[in-house]
Structure 1
Amino acid sequence: MAIELLNRTLTSETKQAPAADPANSRVGSDVFGRIGTLETRLARNLREIDAAQAVRYRVFVEEMGATIEPEAMRLRRDIDSYDAICDHLLVVDNAIDGEIEDQIVGTYRLLRQSVAEANGGFYSTSEFDIAPLLARHPDKQFMELGRSCVLPEYRTKRTVELLWQGNWAYALKHGVNAMFGCASFPGVRPEEHALALSFLHHNALVKDEWMVHALPDLNRNMDLMPAEAINPRQALSAMPPLVKGYLRLGAMIGMGAVVDQAFNTTDVLIVLPIASISGRYINYFGADAGRFAN
């Protein structure tokens, strides 16, 4: 099934977090769906956000070799200023004995346009020129997706489906019209991904009113091979599962890639208007996000 988009997406093990302070609660109970013992919901307090940051640390730093601030390294947490303004989508396995830190098996970070504009903008603006896209769609609400992680033993269809159930339900709840966010290829040499990047350039590039460019001083050319030299099957096979999955949903790719030296990745921008999501997926998850709802 094409829903296998995050099947082996970046992830790790959780660590023990500080005890929760009830005064630090950010959101109430907000369960978007369940499959068996797994449920997807928003993080309810700073303790759960801390646990998600510990998962991200093991993925991005220990697994992928990212370089982060010394204090974050000491704390063994992937932390940045956006964590304080984002909602954090979780997949929790209630069958695991122990505290919530032991039960979080997947996470996504969600940032709505209204929140971003009140707090300095979107994370992706450090790499891509998002402003013209937003200006062309003043009647639409955008949401940024980022920091996706799933524990290795949970890189299965069920976990993937719940993450997208959560994204879809959250988007509907907040009247989101389009999603976007950075997706990464491993390493800082785009030429090592010439086949996949060239396929994206020739077959999935954003068009017209959805066009987005990499920042000029960071832009790396994705057109590394002529279209006639590309074997589509091989190109798709060479793509990270997350990127391939976004394409199956109906996403487009921004113009130009960006090398992120700190995170040891080559990034592309995913643009996914709600209206472009394949009907088979809307039918699967439910037009009201009811597929896995309680």
Structure 2
Amino acid sequence: MAEPEILLSKGRYRARLAAGADDVAAAQALRTLCFRTAAADSDPFDSRCTHVLVEEKASGALVCCFRLLLLEGGAVLEQSYSAQFYDLSALQNFAGRMAELGRFCTHPEWQDPDILRIAWGALTGLVDGQGVQMLFGCSSFAGTSAEPYKESFELLRQRYLAPAQWRPAERAPEVVRFSVESPRTADVKKALQAMPPLLRAYLAMGGWVSGHAVVDRQMNTLHVFTGLETGAIPDARKRLLRAVAG
């Protein structure tokens, strides 16, 4: 196996690129554990993506992983994983370089917030280095019932819908629409508590979502398309991310 390329090493953890098939298999095993899929979590996109592993230095334990698919612009969005579930026609006019963040997960027995910081720091370095202007992906809620997430979906509808010019349309056969006939005020605290950490991180940086969630029974999740134009990230947040990445 090739010598791994270290992206970031701070404190107890380091983030590195996968160096071969064994590393990818380890990431797939962690994904299978986190997403609780019946079969091993692997797909044809794995061979096209860059895989990032976050490990505890002392033990070598794999505590977090994600994959990244680089796209030269909106014209090739149909090559993305997300395009299987969302009609991304509106985004095809996006001219800048894009990157799809996928299969982001943290080992359930490792809840140290530094893990997420290291992962985002490594991601920031990759995004900056590749000149990515839009980061996107599917942010997953556990399970396929919308009931536990009604406050989250209402908050997303009220505050975080994608700009009309980029908003994904429906493609999947089974969706949960956010629009309601009688709008109400979402309970912000409950809404944020029920959201996955990845989605909260996107939103804190200026991210936005589709107007519906996809019911993905194979992965046993509900997910929303999530986009983030890197130029829209607040300067203070950029400084924090780059401080970690540096």
TM-score, length of structure 2 as denominator length? 0.90
Q: What is the match of residue 80 of structure 1?
A: 43
Query: In the TM superposition, what is the alpha-carbon distance from 1:246 to its structure 2 partner?
Result: 1.7
SS in 2 for 1:160: helix
- Evaluate the alpha carbon distance shift between residue 225 and residue 192 of structure 1 in structure 2; reply closer, same or farther with a 3 A threshold: farther
Q: What is the match of residue 188 of structure 2?
A: 232
Q: Does 1:205 align with 2:168?
A: no
Q: What is the match of residue 37 of structure 1?
A: 12
Q: What is the match of residue 101 of structure 2?
A: 145
Q: Which has the larger Rg?
A: 1
SS in 1 for 2:152: helix
Partners of 1:116 and 1:132 lie apart in 2 by 9
Per-residue displacement from partner, 1:177-207 (whole Å, max 9, x unpaired)? 1111001112222244222111101110001
Q: What is the match of residue 252 of structure 1?
A: 208
Query: In the TM superposition, what is the alpha-carbon distance from 1:249 to its structure 2 partner?
Result: 1.7
Partners of 2:155 and 2:220 lie apart in 1 by 22
Higher strand share: 2
Report 1 or 2 for greater relative contact order, CA contacts < 8 Å, sequence distance ≥ 6: 1
Per-residue displacement from partner, 1:152-184 (whole Å, max 9, x unpaired)? 343222111110011111111111111110011
Partners of 1:266 and 1:233 lie apart in 2 by 20
Q: What is the match of residue 282 of structure 1?
A: 238
Maintained 8 Å contact 2:54/2:62: yes
Q: Does 1:273 align with 2:222?
A: no
Q: Does 1:56 align with 2:31?
A: yes
- Evaluate the alpha carbon distance shift between residue 119 and residue 141 of structure 1 in structure 2; reply closer, same or farther with a 3 A threshold: closer
Maintained 8 Å contact 2:85/2:172: no
Q: 1:85-124 alignment to 2 at 5 Å?
A: 85-96=48-59, 102-114=60-72, 121-124=79-82
Partners of 1:218 and 1:173 lie apart in 2 by 37
Query: In the TM superposition, what is the alpha-carbon distance from 1:132 to its structure 2 partner?
Result: 2.8
Aligned length: 246
Partners of 2:77 and 2:208 lie apart in 1 by 27
165-174 or 192-201, which deviates more: 192-201
Maintained 8 Å contact 1:146/1:182: yes
Partners of 1:277 and 1:213 lie apart in 2 by 24
- Evaluate the alpha carbon distance shift between residue 270 and residue 88 of structure 1 in structure 2; reply closer, same or farther with a 3 A threshold: same
Partners of 1:292 and 1:278 lie apart in 2 by 16
Gaps in structure 1 of 5+ consecutive residues: 1-21, 68-72, 97-101
TM-score, length of structure 1 as denominator length? 0.76
Q: What is the match of residue 171 of structure 2?
A: 215
Q: What is the match of residue 125 of structure 1?
A: 83
SS in 2 for 1:245: helix
Maintained 8 Å contact 2:84/2:172: no
Identity, in percent, stands at 26
Maintained 8 Å contact 1:214/1:257: no
Q: What is the match of residue 17 of structure 1?
A: none
Maintained 8 Å contact 2:90/2:166: no
Per-residue displacement from partner, 1:33-90 (whole Å, max 9, x unpaired)? 11123111211111111111111111112xxxx34xxxxx3xxx32111111111111
1:184 corresponds to which of 117, 136, 140: 140
